[in-house]
Amino acid sequence: MSTWATRTAPAAPLRRAALLAASVVALFLPAAAGAQIRNSRHDLSSTSTASVKAQSETQICKFCHTPHGAESTRLLWNRGQTTQAAYTWGTPATAAGTPLPSSLMARSKMCLGCHDGSISIGSLRNAGGGPAGTVAITDVAGRVAGGRLVAGTYTVGVGGNMSGSHPVSIPYAGQNGYNGINSAVTGAAVTAGYRTVLTGTTCQNRTGICTNTTGTSGPNGVVIELYQGTGGVGIECNSCHEPHNEYGFQWLLRVDAATSDNLCRSCHTK
Amino acid sequence: MTRLPAIALVLLPAFASGAGDIRQSRHNLSVSGPGSVKALAEGRSCVFCHVAHSGVGAGENRPDSGVQHRPYQSGTLSSEAAPRATGASRMCLSCHDGTVAVGRTVKFGEIRMRGGASGRVEGKANLGFDLSASHPVSFRARHTGRTRDPRRDEGVPLDRQGMVQCTSCHDPHVEDADPQQKKFLVKANRGAALCLSCHQLPYWQSNPASHQQSMASPVPPGAAPEPYATIADNGCANCHAMHGAGGQSLVRGERNQGDDAVCLRCHDGRVAKLDVASEVAKPFAHAAARAGPSGHDAAEGPMSPSRPLPETRPSQARHATCVDCHDPHAAANRSALAPRAPGSLSGVWGVDRNGMRVQPVNFEYEVCFKCHADSANQPQRQGGALAGRLPKRARPEVNLRLVFDPSSAASFHPVVGPGRNARMNGLLAAPLTSRSVVYCSDCHSSDTPSPRTPRGPHGSNVEHLLAAGYATGGSVAESPSAYALCYRCHLRDKLLSGESLFSRAAAAGGARESLHARHLLVPRAATSCSTCHNAHGVSALSGTPGANAHLIDFDRNVVGGAAQYSAGATGGSCTLSCHGKEHVNLGY
């Protein structure tokens, strides 16, 4: 994915046009594109309709991004990564034999900082006006205690235990027939930014590389995204999830997985 | 990133769905599924088995059935199945052992299914806890020559631990990769391509076996059709079932039909040309019982501690099934000359003339020696009714390996090697000579030969499973039919004439007097061939070449006195008492 800044600003006029077009075909679209973070579950501001939110902080972006005092300029990341040093999967490899990693890529560890419960949701590099600090989060029974997610609905990898979850920080198979993945390109041809697409015959991604498109109708252009990791291009949390609720699907997914198989079938042509 | 092209494309009609993925299969349990088992409202199909988070193992969404399955057992199985189904097989059995409702998931709880009921798999798809009639799963094969790991390009995947799982043969996402058989097979099983990816049959293709090549229908007229239209294409499935097999070795059918039922279903003249079924229905036959297990076991053999064959204990049950003599994976239509084993006996193991296991057999008699040589449970050893109907020999020997042993036996019919008597020429039906060798099945075979009757000792109306009449006892009226068996080779007119060596100069000169005729035709004697001759032979333990040449082994039921024979260079002499007639060193 590109940075948050480049995603929104230059495309704004086009997006308005898109929304207009979308309204025309709304009946055909189970989930309208162009949803937003406001009132999504990642809207942690005190005014959000989400259940997990700040006690008084009204900003949304700052829970992950800050223009100054960020952990790194890249993504202007306003958070620490997870403090969990290693992860286990309950099995050393996938059914197809891909080894499962004990250390994860930074991109996934950004998510896991909150979602494995190791860091307070409100713990920020720049909590306001420069210094690091902690924004107060309202306790929610079974979900948040003391500012951290507690094991349950919103957690993944608590205590480093990723057992029962789809692997992340693993290479994209990139070879036909491997684990059901049916890729139009294989091996080294799969590069960062490569996206699998569910529908259509025209590639809807930045690099012009598509998988075979055997899917039925679905939100076109909504894609699984691959990221550069060590030793190749792989799957991270963001491959399936879009944390800003850009697509409006449940669980902040890029493709609907609440009512259809389209998300899974974007890669697994089963 | 712009959205415009994306939205434009949504207006296009949905693309025709590709054939053969989860959506078209009955494993699409979502509300859109094509089968009868499906959800009331759930639109997703993946979730019945998989989940991205909060599953068990590697994203598995199926609860554990928690039961202990009874795995397939076989005496020839060298691999050990895991005590519990593992990996993908655990997932499959979660539904297919009938324990866990189809709609029950780890993460999403119970997905409501149509029909209410228990939501459990029923009918043939419910394999139950007892998997002993199914191909084993969750094991790493220990190869002993008859199996191998499939190559990657064969599309029969082992799991990452090299284990055979349900998913080795079934792709649960694609129902019709074998368009004929369907059943979610990983690939078309035409010609047993799937089975042969692991199983190596040494003679199946190289021989090639008749079953491998047969263009006949795999089922008799009127029976339910098989997935493929010819026996060759239907492959292993002609005889084996991977689930719900009734017989040993995953053989199809019901156990209570008897072990031969699967063979006789076709080999009754309706599918296979030769009618074996009618033969084995005769009163004297090699046939398994019509019900229950025969006692045959694929693991039996000389080295088997639990299933010794030849049998080592008199109490062991005797058995004869089709597969004792024929290997259906190897048998081929190929003739041979005695004593060479014909194609019908290809591939089977036997016992050679030295008592050693041999596979495949080279000679027909090696098949017979499995049960008629060293076996401790031969009924002739046990006395009883059968012994009373047999000629009574001085020292009977039922080990036919010793009886026919050309290197040691006193005299013998030429089954293992040419006989001792070099002066048979002219007395035998052409083309037989003193150097000829015959099959056991030249005497022991059908009494009603026809183009539709199989060669070999399948069955006969004549006792001892003989091909023709062979009267025994002390008082028999000679006729062509009384000794029809003998006269097939031993020309009757020669035998009963002075040309036979068993003859003497006539008192008044002229033609020699046939002593065979004197013993067989003269009403006062009128005795059987078997009174003086032992049709099989006389082993070294039972006699000597001097006293038991020419198969002489008097029937003590008829012959009394010393009952001694002494062979000379060109004749012989007898000392015995018979029919009140005393012979004392009476020569010829």
Q: What single letter denotes the amino acid at residue B311?
A: E
Residue of A nearest to B163 (CA): A95
Residue from B21, B42, B170 whose CB has the most chain A CBs within 10 Å, to mutate: B21
Residue B325 CA to residue B346 CA, distance in Å, equals: 9
CB pair distance less than 8 Å for A219 and B17: no
Which residues of B are less than 8 Å from A21 in CB distance? 3-4, 7-8
- How far CA B182 is from CA of A250, B24, B80, B186, B201, in Å, comes to 36, 12, 29, 9, 25
Rounded to the nearest angstrom, the minimum Cα separation between B88 and chain A is 8
CB pair distance less than 8 Å for A259 and B44: yes
Instruction: Give DSSP secondary structure letters for B407-427.
Output: TT-SEE-SSSS--S-TT-TTT
Q: CB-hemisphere CA count at 13 Å for A128?
A: 11
* Assigned token pair, B16: 């025709």
Q: Is pLDDT above 80 for A265?
A: no
Question: Which of A202, A206, A257 minimises the CB distance to B9?
Answer: A202
Sheet containing B559-567, strands listed edge to edge, beginning at the edge strand earlier in sequence: B559-567, B572-578, B581-587
B53 in reach of chain A (CB within 8 A): yes
Residue from B4, B9, B163 whose CB has the most chain A CBs within 10 Å, to mutate: B9
DSSP reduced 3-state for A75: helix
Which residues of A are less than 8 Å from B57 in CB distance? 90-91, 163-164
* Assigned token pair, A151: 């094991």
A168 in reach of chain B (CB within 8 A): no
CB pair distance less than 8 Å for A14 and B2: yes
Rounded average pLDDT over A107-113:
93
Helical ranges in A116-220 per DSSP H:
none
The single-letter DSSP state of residue A114 is: H
Straight-line distance from the first to the last Cα atom of chain B, in angstroms, rounded to the nearest whole number: 118
Q: What is the pLDDT of residue A34?
A: 55
DSSP reduced 3-state for A7: helix
Cβ-based neighbours of B123, under 8 Å, separated by 6 or more? none
A227-229 and A148-149 beta bridge pairing: unpaired
B26 in reach of chain A (CB within 8 A): no
Burial B515-539 (b: 16+ CB within 10 A, else e): bbbebbeeeebbbbbbbbbbbbbbb
Q: What is the pLDDT of residue A7?
A: 36
Q: Is residue B543 within 8 Å of B533, Cβ to Cβ?
A: no
A239 in reach of chain B (CB within 8 A): no
Residue from A249, A261, A267 whose CB has the most chain B CBs within 10 Å, to mutate: A261
Residue A205 CA to residue A211 CA, distance in Å, equals: 11
Q: What is the pLDDT of residue B294?
A: 83
* Assigned token pair, B444: 């022991």
Q: What is the pLDDT of residue A190?
A: 56
Question: Which of B3, B51, B58 minimises the CB distance to A18?
Answer: B3
B31 in reach of chain A (CB within 8 A): no
CB pair distance less than 8 Å for A25 and B160: no
Q: Is pLDDT above 90 for A224?
A: no
Residue A8 CA to residue A6 CA, distance in Å, equals: 6
Residue B9 CA to residue A216 CA, distance in Å, equals: 12
Q: Which helix (H) or strand (E) holds B564?
A: strand B559-567
Angle at B449 (CA atoms; ends B446, B450), nearest 5 degrees: 145
List the 215-234 stretch of A: residues with Cβ below 8 A of B.
215-217, 219-222
Q: Is pLDDT above 70 for A112?
A: yes
Q: What is the pLDDT of residue B569?
A: 82
Instruction: Give DSSP secondary structure letters for B173-231.
Output: T-S-SSTTT-TTBSS--GGGTTGGGTB--TTTTTTT-HHHH--S-SS-TTSPPPSSSSH
Cβ count within 10 A of residue A98: 17
Phi, psi of B141 (to 5 degrees): -70, 130
* Assigned token pair, A147: 């500012």
Q: Is pLDDT above 50 for A3?
A: no
Q: Is residue B434 within 8 Å of B421, Cβ to Cβ?
A: yes
Q: What single letter denotes the amino acid at residue A57?
A: E
Q: What is the pLDDT of residue A32?
A: 42
Cβ count within 10 A of residue A120: 20
The single-letter DSSP state of residue B76 is: T
Rounded to the nearest angstrom, the minimum Cα separation between A102 and chain B is 14
3-class SS letters over A9-73: CCCHHHHHHHHHHHHHCHHHCCCCCCCCCCCCCCCCCCCCCCCCCECCCCCCHHHCECCCCCCEC
Angle at B582 (CA atoms; ends B576, B586), nearest 5 degrees: 70
Question: Which of B3, B11, B13 minimises the CB distance to A14?
Answer: B3
Residue of A nearest to B60 (CA): A164
Residue from B7, B21, B167 whose CB has the most chain A CBs within 10 Å, to mutate: B7
Burial B208-233 (b: 16+ CB within 10 A, else e): ebbbbebebbbbeeeeeebbbebbbb
How many residues are recorded in chain A?
A: 270
DSSP reduced 3-state for B576: strand
Straight-line distance from the first to the last Cα atom of chain A, in angstroms, rounded to the nearest whole number: 26
Phi, psi of B581 (to 5 degrees): -100, 130
Residue A256 — very low, low, confident or very high, per pLDDT cuts 50/70/90?
Answer: confident
Phi, psi of A115 (to 5 degrees): -80, -15
Cβ count within 10 A of residue B501: 17
Residue of A nearest to B53 (CA): A165
Q: Is residue B527 within 8 Å of B520, Cβ to Cβ?
A: yes
Residue whose structure tokens are 């002593």: B515
Q: Is residue B175 within 8 Å of B25, Cβ to Cβ?
A: yes
Q: What is the pLDDT of residue B80?
A: 77
Residue B280 CA to residue A184 CA, distance in Å, equals: 61
Residue A16 CA to residue A182 CA, distance in Å, equals: 35
User: How many Cβ pairs closer than 8 A exist between chain A and B?
Assistant: 131
Q: What is the pLDDT of residue B227?
A: 93
Q: What is the pLDDT of residue A22?
A: 39
A1 in reach of chain B (CB within 8 A): no
Residue A187 — very low, low, confident or very high, per pLDDT cuts 50/70/90?
Answer: low
Q: Is A230 exposed, middle or buried (0-12, 13-18, 19+ CB in 10 A)?
A: exposed
Q: Is residue A209 within 8 Å of A194, Cβ to Cβ?
A: yes
Rounded to the nearest angstrom, the minimum Cα separation between B112 and chain A is 14
Rounded to the nearest angstrom, the minimum Cα separation between B9 and chain A is 7
Residue of B nearest to A163 (CA): B57
Which residues of B are less than 8 Å from A89 in CB distance? 58
B19 in reach of chain A (CB within 8 A): no
Q: Give the torsion through C-alpha atoms of B125, B129, B134, B137, to 10 deg.
A: 110
Q: What is the pLDDT of residue A198?
A: 45
Q: What is the pLDDT of residue B384?
A: 66
Residue of A nearest to B171 (CA): A270
Residue A37 CA to residue B80 CA, distance in Å, equals: 55
Cβ-based neighbours of A56, under 8 Å, separated by 6 or more? A46, A136
Which pTM was predicted? 0.82
Instruction: Encode chain B (588 residues) as per-residue pLDDT tens digits.
Output: 333 333 333 333 333 333 478 889 999 999 999 998 999 999 999 999 999 998 887 788 999 888 888 888 888 888 877 778 888 999 999 999 998 989 999 988 999 998 765 678 888 899 999 998 999 999 999 998 889 999 988 999 998 888 999 999 999 999 999 999 999 999 999 999 999 999 999 899 888 899 999 999 998 888 899 999 999 999 999 999 999 888 788 888 776 788 899 999 999 999 999 999 999 999 999 988 888 788 888 899 999 988 999 999 999 999 999 999 999 999 999 999 999 999 999 999 999 999 999 999 999 999 999 999 999 999 887 766 676 778 999 999 999 999 999 999 999 999 999 999 988 878 999 999 999 999 999 999 999 999 999 999 999 999 999 999 999 988 899 999 999 999 999 999 999 998 888 998 887 778 889 999 999 999 888 999 999 999 999 999 999 999 999 999 999 999 999 999 999 888 899 999 998 889 999 999
B459-460 and B503-504 beta bridge pairing: unpaired
Phi, psi of B166 (to 5 degrees): -50, -35
Question: Which of A11, A91, A220 minimises the CB distance to B58?
Answer: A91
